[in-house]
């Protein structure tokens, strides 16, 4: 796949006569990647690294400081014409090595060029700081001696037997978590409560510190050096970090992956230990600390550290797993290669991929990581602004500059100065301008349907709840859920051994009081009034108990369809009097009750009866047609069902004070959509889903600007 690089360059004369050589502190180590030889240049003083191919290594070996660049290139070309790098590749190689401070030149330095280099270096530092303002790193300590001293104590944790012990521990902890999953999920709703934030952050900091020590110990175990441990201001919150770039020099791919995974290895083990503590302790500080450690060490590790689209542990593990070093840089270079070759017409742009499959992988990774980076940036800014609006505004300005303005400036400089575009600059500028005009024209002028989404619940206008009339144990659902029934049909059969004993005792009391009443009549009526009242009370109690026994046979109150979504979970369980067992509904008259946000209400009210369609949860591929929509103008704060609220993982934010999860934080407007008969989806009372309204068409840029203003008004009252 890789094309031979351009052998000659128009800029060659600028470096051909210079005499250079690698610095004395640089050593070269061989690595194998996908069966091919690569070499790693490492400066032992600055801990700088750079990977090169065999042809570039042979060229650098000829750079002794006495030969010119031209002479070294011709010697490498004579020795291996196929592997020798071209002039363009050598220019890029020397530029990168010079930037990494891995080469030196014995030419007398020009003071003006020296000052210019210092100025550019400082500008690069400022740009890097601005680009990483949301994850700024501050080095604090050299932990190498500390790691060396403690390494004998933890060495076996990274051995084969240590991994087996780790696996057994994690599996047992996972079993405990599965057995107590309901308690864990319920407790998870309180993890962001104000009173828990201090414990949560303390658990986060300690756990991440152990995570970074795991990287450091693994790197030191395999002979690497770890000279930097510091704090990274991740979203302006201090998080520990450690520099283990010396692991790049390891020849073994498995060792490099071990170093990358060591942090998660330690963190999941800590989560397992915390699970044991949590399961064995009652409510209290120790139990809360253990739960927070479990939450941080498991959720954050799996969602962030393992994600290869972010430049954390998962990214470096993936790079070694697929033998793709410098994955992020090469993916961006692959996108640049496609642009230069197919859009700008450059004959032989540098190709970072060796095969067609690798080129596709790099391109897709570059696109996915760029998109994901944008969404992560947006989520972080909104999170900060929700807590501290002023800080969020500053972070949005600085982050937006680094994410949008700075790349645009760099791209403009690339179009103006890139030597490869020397003969294609007009075409490159024209293609860029045309693409920009097409995209902006599409966004600003092409009409696009304006959609408004609202969550809601399907229900029938006529329905009757069926509840248990007495306490008892669930014995049988006589009618399966979804079957038609008539009024009086038996739906549920329940039993109550205790009720049977009470009835037997009541019948005995009735017989006793009747016998006493008959004996009193025979004695001439002495104390007959008292005896009669006792008999009447005993008979009333017996009648009540017999009615309860009849209530154990639950019957349909009306004609319709029997709906019992929890039937499978209630067999053999104790059901209290008044507990809802299901509903009898009268189809096919279904309505969809939707919760419309205030920001969308004015446009929907002005549209009258807009076209709409419903998609239900679990049946999103089937469109439920809507006959008519009615909007209720009054504001409301009570949801039609708790399934739409946050407490039940719904989309509507509810107040934490309401245990039932029905009171919304912000008022909403209700929309009632009547469903047309003959829907392709299976309709059941209580199903949730979304309704989509189409209210005209507007360009996407106009729609985006309106939603952005609505978001500012809703979230920040601007």
pLDDT score of 26: 79
Reported confidence tier of residue 4, pLDDT bands at 50, 70, 90: very low
DSSP 3-state assignment of 21? Answer: strand
27 pairs with which residues across the strands? 42
Structure-token pair, residue 671:
């929309």
Distance from the first to the final alpha carbon of the chain: 54
Distances (CA, A) of 379 to 41, 368, 386, 405, 687: 38, 16, 11, 19, 30
pLDDT score of 686: 79
Range of lowest pLDDT (416-425, 450-459, 572-581, 633-642): 572-581
Provide φ and ψ at 650, rounded to 5°. -85, 175
> What are 514-536's pLDDT values in tens digits?
888 787 777 766 567 778 888 88
Number of neighbouring beta carbons within 10 Å of residue 251: 11
Q: How far apart are CA 214 and CA 266, in angstroms?
A: 6
Residues 6 or more apart whose CB falls under 8 angstroms from that of 340 comprise 346, 349, 420, 421
> What are 135-170's pLDDT values in tens digits?
667 788 889 889 999 998 888 888 889 999 999 999
Residues 6 or more apart whose CB falls under 8 angstroms from that of 627 comprise 674, 675, 676
DSSP 3-state assignment of 344? Answer: coil
Q: pTM higher than 0.85 for the full model?
A: no
Q: How far apart are CA 312 and CA 208, in angstroms?
A: 13
Q: Are the CB atoms for 457 and 565 separated by under 8 Å? A: no
- Cα-Cα-Cα-Cα dihedral sign, residues 255, 259, 261, 264: positive
Residue whose token pair is 């596709």: 360
- Cα-Cα-Cα-Cα dihedral sign, residues 108, 111, 112, 114: positive
Q: Are the CB atoms for 250 and 222 separated by under 8 Å? A: yes
Looking at residues 380-386, what average pLDDT do you find? 71
Q: Are the CB atoms for 667 and 471 separated by under 8 Å? A: no
- Rg, C-alpha atoms of the chain: 37
Q: For residue 569, is pLDDT > 80?
A: no
Number of neighbouring beta carbons within 10 Å of residue 477: 19
pLDDT score of 135: 61
Residues 6 or more apart whose CB falls under 8 angstroms from that of 511 comprise none
Strands of 237-243's sheet in order across: 135-141, 228-234, 237-243
Residue-wise DSSP of 401-421:
IIIIIHHHHHHHHHHHH-GGG
355 secondary structure, DSSP code: S
524 secondary structure, DSSP code: T
Structure-token pair, residue 128:
């890097």
Q: How far apart are CA 515 and CA 707, in angstroms?
A: 83
Percent of the chain with pLDDT strictly greater than 90: 16
Q: For residue 48, is pLDDT > 90?
A: no
Q: How far apart are CA 613 and CA 605, in angstroms?
A: 17
Looking at residues 579-603, what average pLDDT do you find? 82
552 secondary structure, DSSP code: T
Q: Please report, for the chain, how many H helices and E strands are present, in that order.
A: 20, 23
> What are 80-96's pLDDT values in tens digits?
877 788 877 788 788 77
Q: How far apart are CA 682 and CA 561, in angstroms?
A: 13
> What are 646-660's pLDDT values in tens digits?
777 788 888 877 777
Q: Of 455, 452, 454, 453, whose CA–CA distance to 643 is shortest?
A: 455
pLDDT score of 234: 65
Which element (helix H / strand E) includes 172? helix 160-179
pLDDT score of 427: 93
Structure-token pair, residue 606:
């002005």
Structure-token pair, residue 61:
């070996």
CA-CA-CA-CA dihedral for 387, 391, 395, 396, to nearest 10 = 70
> How would you label 156-168 residue by residue, b for 16+ Cβ within 10 Å and e otherwise?
ebbeeeeeeebee
pLDDT score of 8: 67
Structure-token pair, residue 370:
């760029």
Q: How far apart are CA 617 and CA 688, in angstroms?
A: 6
Structure-token pair, residue 393:
């505004």
Alpha helices in 189-312 (DSSP H): 197-221, 253-280, 285-295
């Amino acid at each position: 796949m890789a094309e031979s690089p351009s052998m000659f360059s128009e800029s060659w004369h600028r470096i051909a006569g210079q005499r250079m050589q690698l610095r004395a502190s640089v050593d070269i180590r061989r690595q194998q990647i996908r069966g091919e030889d690569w070499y790693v240049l490492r400066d032992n003083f600055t801990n700088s690294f750079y990977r090169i191919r065999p042809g570039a290594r042979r060229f650098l070996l000829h750079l002794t400081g006495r030969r010119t660049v031209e002479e070294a290139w011709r010697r490498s070309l004579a020795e291996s014409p196929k592997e020798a790098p071209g002039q363009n590749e050598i220019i890029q190689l020397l530029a990168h090595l010079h930037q990494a401070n891995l080469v030196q030149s014995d030419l007398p330095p020009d003071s003006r060029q020296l000052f210019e280099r210092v100025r550019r270096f400082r500008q690069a530092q400022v740009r890097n700081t601005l680009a990483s303002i949301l994850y700024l790193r501050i080095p604090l300590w050299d932990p190498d001696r500390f790691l060396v001293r403690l390494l004998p104590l933890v060495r076996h944790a990274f051995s084969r037997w240590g991994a087996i012990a780790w696996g057994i521990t994690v599996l047992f902890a996972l079993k405990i978590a599965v057995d107590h999953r309901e308690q864990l999920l319920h407790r998870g709703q309180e993890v962001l409560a104000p009173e828990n934030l201090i414990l949560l952050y303390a658990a986060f900091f300690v756990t991440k510190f152990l995570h970074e020590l795991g990287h450091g110990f693994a790197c030191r175990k395999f002979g690497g050096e770890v000279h930097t441990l510091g704090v990274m201001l991740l979203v302006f919150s201090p998080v520990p970090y450690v520099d283990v770039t010396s692991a790049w020099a390891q020849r073994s791919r498995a060792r490099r992956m071990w170093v990358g995974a060591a942090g998660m290895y330690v963190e999941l083990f800590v989560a397992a230990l915390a699970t044991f503590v949590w399961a064995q302790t009652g409510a209290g500080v120790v139990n809360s600390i253990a739960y927070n450690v479990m939450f941080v060490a498991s959720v954050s590790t799996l969602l962030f550290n393992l994600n290869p689209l972010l430049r954390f542990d998962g990214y470096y593990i993936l790079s070694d797993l697929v033998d793709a070093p410098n994955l992020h840089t090469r993916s961006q270079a692959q996108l640049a290669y496609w642009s230069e070759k197919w859009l700008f017409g450059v004959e032989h742009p540098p190709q970072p991929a060796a095969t067609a499959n690798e080129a596709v992988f790099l391109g897709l990774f570059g696109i996915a990581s760029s998109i994901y980076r944008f969404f992560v940036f947006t989520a972080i800014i909104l999170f900060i602004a929700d807590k501290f609006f002023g800080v969020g505004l500053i972070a949005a300005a600085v982050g937006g500059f680094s994410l949008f303005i700075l790349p645009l400036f760099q791209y403009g400089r690339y179009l103006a100065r890139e030597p490869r575009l020397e003969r294609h600059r007009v075409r490159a500028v024209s293609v860029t301008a045309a693409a920009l005009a097409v995209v902006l024209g599409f966004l600003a002028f092409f009409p696009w349907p304006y959609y408004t989404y609202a969550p809601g619940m399907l229900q029938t206008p006529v329905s009757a709840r069926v509840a248990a009339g007495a306490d008892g144990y669930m014995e049988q659902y006589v009618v399966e859920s979804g079957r038609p029934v008539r009024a009086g049909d038996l739906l549920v059969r329940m039993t109550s051994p205790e009720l049977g004993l009470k009835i037997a005792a009541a019948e005995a009391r009735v017989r006793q009081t009747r016998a006493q009443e008959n004996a009193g009549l025979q004695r001439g009526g002495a104390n007959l009034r008292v005896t009669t009242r006792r008999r009447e009370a005993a008979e009333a109690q017996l009648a009540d108990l017999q009615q309860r026994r009849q209530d154990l046979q639950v019957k349909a109150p009306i004609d319709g369809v029997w709906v019992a979504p929890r039937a499978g979970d209630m067999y053999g369980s104790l059901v209290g009097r008044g507990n809802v067992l299901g509903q009898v509904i009268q189809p096919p008259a279904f309505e969809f009750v939707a919760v419309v946000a205030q920001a969308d209400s004015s446009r929907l009210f002005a549209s009258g009866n807009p076209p709409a369609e419903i998609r239900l949860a679990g049946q999103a591929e089937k469109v439920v047609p809507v006959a008519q929509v009615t909007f209720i103008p009054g504001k409301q704060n009570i949801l039609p069902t708790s399934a739409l609220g946050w407490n039940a993982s719904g989309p509507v934010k509810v107040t934490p004070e309401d245990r039932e999860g029905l009171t919304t934080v912000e008022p909403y407007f209700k929309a009632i959509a009547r469903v047309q008969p003959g829907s392709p989806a299976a309709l059941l009372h209580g199903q949730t889903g979304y309704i989509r309204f189409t209210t005209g068409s507007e360009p996407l840029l106009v729609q985006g600007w309106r939603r952005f203003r609505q978001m500012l008004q809703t979230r920040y009252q601007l």
